[in-house]
């Protein structure tokens, strides 16, 4: 309990590599090399866009993100207005300023107001050759599954028309295998964090996660496999004053976790659109089922975003993670104007209270480095938890 976390780079070359991929994004070498081969790159937003279809089409799926740090968002503000989340404004500004000019297509879903308006404004002002927004139901009933499946099928058909060739069952199967492999490896990574002393910090984990959707998966998987071997018996371990879980929507700035971890807490797991929500659930193909059905099913029934109904499901999954990772306290970081997640706050507060798990609610801007006031509050949170234990 009096142990403090040792934050020092454990000199893992794969993490350094992922870091460089992230820093150079969107124009990083992996993406540029892929394009240089004459292949196509599609940008996607939200965990409700099936990456497998893009992979099956022989293209590279790349997650659209913003700058990953707090910065002037003049163009974002002018086009999306000041009251749309800084994530959507940041993404749009990058798009407007040409950072995503290499994209052959953008794909999104009717997931939340910020996302759908981002796509509306993108379509009007940025010229990306292929464009599709999928209707994503907010329920996972059979009817909803059927509707979403037909959306995914239409996505496949549009891709085929755009690219000029058919996406076969085998293509889809291979894509599922590849993406499932990524998921499996990330799962293994997280298993390591269940240990009392973990070989990897939360910040480093996020570095790995964000790279996973910024480079070809085959290359990523190979590197992660290698890294996992090194981590399995890593001599360097981390143990925090407290085992923390970070929840919220989009978080792609490892600096934020670093700031938290510098206070002595260790982030051992998380519930983020860029982490567990992204990889937790594999695509499972039932006997005789068309692969695309399995894909659609997985994506709609995925670890839910706050937009889905009932919110109970999201909370249940958070609680399960708390248990599995022996979490001492939860930190919720909600981007200002992120409406779906903001509405969950009172409900999540009650759930955590009932489970006697301390919860810290933070209002942040997308790209926050977690310094200053935030770090102070995390510090106070840890002290409060420790005092309580005594």
Partner 1 sequence: MITAIGVDIGSLTTKAVVLDDKKIVSWAVLRSSEKTEFSARTAIEQSLQKIGLDFKIGLNIVATGLGSKTVTFSRSKSLTACLARGSNSLFPQARMAIDMGAESSTVIRINERGRVTDWQSQDKCAAGTGIFLEQMAKLIGVSMSEMDELSFQAKSPPEITNTCAVFAESEVISHIHRVPATSKEDIVAGIYRSILGRIISMCKRAGIQREVMATGGVALNKGIISVLSKELGFEILVPENPQLAAALGAAIIARETAGEKA
Partner 2 sequence: MTTNNKLSSIVQSCRVIRKMSQPGPYQKSDELYYQNLSTYYTRLLKARENGGFIAAHTVFFPAEILYAMDIVPMHTEMTTWLMALFLGEQAELLSAGAEVGLAAEICSPHRGLAGAFTRGYLPHPDVMLWSNLICDNTAKSGELVMKLCNCPGFFLDHPFQHNNEEVSYLVNELKSMVRFLEEKSGHKMNWDKLSEIVARTNQQLALTNEINELRKLVPSPFAAQGFLKLLLADYLFPGQPEAIAYLQQLRDELKDIVREKNLNPSLEKHRLMTLFIPPIYMTSYLDRLYLKYGAVSVVEPMFTKWTKAEFNPSQALKSVAEKSYVIPESHVMYGPLNENVIKYVVDSARDYQVQGAVFWAFLGCRHACATIKIFKDALNEAGIPMLAVDCDIVDPTVNPEEEIGEKLERFFELLDEL
CB of 54 closer than 8 Å to CB of 42: yes
| CB 211, CB 186: distance < 8 Å | no
Judged by beta carbon distances under 5 to 8 A according to partner kind, the member of partner 2, partner 1, none in contact with residue 263 is none
365 forms part of the interface with partner 1 (CB under 8 A)? no
Find the binding residues for partner 1 in span 35-74 (CB under 8 A).
Answer: 72, 74
| Binding-site partner at residue 185 among partner 1, partner 2, none, CB < 5 to 8 Å by type | none
Structure-block tokens of residue 133: 């927004």
Residue 124 in contact with partner 1, rule: CB under 8 A: no
What sign results for the dihedral spanned by CA atoms 101, 103, 109, 111?
Answer: negative
Taking CB under 8 A as the rule, does residue 218 contact partner 1? no
Cβ distance to partner 2 smaller for residue 82 or 229: 82
213 contact partners, CB below 8 Å, separation of at least 6:
51, 61, 62, 63, 274, 278
- Of residues 153 through 172, those in contact with partner 2 by CB under 8 A are none
3-state secondary structure of 155: helix
By beta-carbon proximity to partner 1, the closer residue of 125 and 165 is 125
- Alpha-carbon distance of 63 to 65, in angstroms, equals 6
Torsion, CA 270, CA 273, CA 278, CA 284, rounded to 10: 100
Name which of 77 and 145 has its Cβ closer to partner 1.
Answer: 77
Q: Which of 19, 39, 69, 117 binds partner 2 (CB under 8 A)?
A: 117
Q: Does 121 bind partner 2 (CB under 8 A)?
A: yes
Return the one option of partner 1, partner 2, none that residue 344 interacts with (CB less than 5 to 8 A, by type). Answer: partner 2
Judge whether 347 and 315 are in contact, CB under 8 Å.
Answer: yes
* Cβ partners under 8 Å of residue 32, min gap 6: 102
Query: By CB neighbour count within 10 A (0-12 exposed, 13-18 middle, 19+ buried), where does 10 fall?
Result: middle
Which is nearer to partner 1, 75 or 160 (by Cβ)? 75
State the binding partner of 339 from partner 2, partner 1, none, CB within 5 to 8 A by kind: partner 2
Site for partner 2 in 213-252 (CB under 8 A): none
CB nearer to partner 1: pick between 72 and 142: 72
Q: Are 118 and 91 in contact (CB under 8 A)?
A: yes
Treating both helix axes as pointing N-terminal to C-terminal, what angle do 217-232 and 13-24 enclose, rounded to 10 degrees?
Answer: 150
Identify residues 69-88 at the interface with partner 1 (CB under 8 A).
72, 74-75, 77-78
When asked if residue 355 is in the footprint of partner 2 (CB under 8 A), the reply is no
Look-up: residue for tokens 């801007």?
365
Q: How far is the CB of 65 from partner 2 (least distance, A)?
A: 19
> Which residues contact partner 1 (rule: CB under 8 A)?
72, 74-75, 77-78
Q: Rule CB under 8 A: which residues touch partner 2?
A: 78-85, 110, 112-114, 116-121, 123-124, 133, 135-139, 143-144, 146-147, 150, 306-307, 309-311, 334, 336-337, 339-340, 342-347, 349-350, 363
């Amino acid at each position: 309990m009096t142990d403090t976390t040792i934050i020092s780079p454990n000199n893992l070359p794969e993490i350094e590599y992922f870091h460089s991929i992230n820093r150079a994004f969107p124009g990083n070498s992996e993406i540029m090399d892929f394009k240089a081969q004459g292949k196509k790159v599609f940008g996607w937003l939200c965990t409700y866009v099936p990456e497998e279809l893009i992979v099956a089409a022989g293209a590279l799926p790349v997650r659209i993100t913003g700058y990953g740090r707090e910065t002037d968002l003049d163009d974002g503000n002018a086009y999306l207005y000041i009251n749309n989340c800084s994530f959507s404004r940041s993404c749009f500004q990058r798009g407007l300023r040409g950072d995503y000019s290499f994209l052959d297509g953008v794909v999104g879903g009717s997931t939340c107001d910020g996302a759908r308006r981002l796509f509306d404004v993108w379509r009007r002002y940025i010229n990306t050759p292929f464009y599709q927004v999928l209707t994503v139901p907010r329920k996972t009933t059979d009817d909803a599954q059927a509707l979403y499946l037909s959306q995914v099928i239409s996505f496949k058909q549009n891709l085929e028309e755009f690219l000029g060739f058919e996406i076969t069952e085998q293509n889809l199967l291979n894509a599922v295998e590849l993406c499932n492999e990524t998921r499996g490896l990330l799962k293994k990574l997280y298993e390591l964090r269940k240990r009392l002393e973990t070989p990897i910090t939360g910040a480093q984990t996020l570095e790995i996660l964000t790279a996973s959707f910024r480079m070809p998966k085959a290359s990523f998987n190979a590197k992660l496999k290698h890294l996992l071997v090194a981590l399995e018996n890593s001599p360097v371990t981390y143990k925090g004053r407290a085992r923390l879980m970070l929840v919220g929507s989009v978080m792609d700035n490892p600096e934020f976790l670093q700031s938290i971890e510098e206070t002595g807490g260790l982030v051992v797991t998380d519930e983020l659109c860029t982490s567990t929500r992204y990889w937790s659930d594999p695509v499972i193909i039932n006997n005789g089922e068309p692969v695309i059905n399995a894909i659609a099913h997985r994506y709609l029934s995925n670890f839910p975003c706050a937009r889905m109904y009932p919110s109970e499901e999201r909370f249940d999954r958070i609680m399960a993670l708390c248990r599995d990772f022996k979490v001492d306290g939860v930190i919720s970081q909600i981007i200002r104007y992120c409406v779906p997640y903001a509405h969950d706050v009172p409900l999540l507060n009650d759930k955590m209270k009932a489970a006697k798990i301390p919860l810290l609610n933070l209002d942040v801007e997308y790209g926050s480095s977690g310094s200053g006031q935030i770090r102070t509050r995390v510090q106070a949170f840890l002290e409060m938890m420790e005092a309580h234990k005594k």
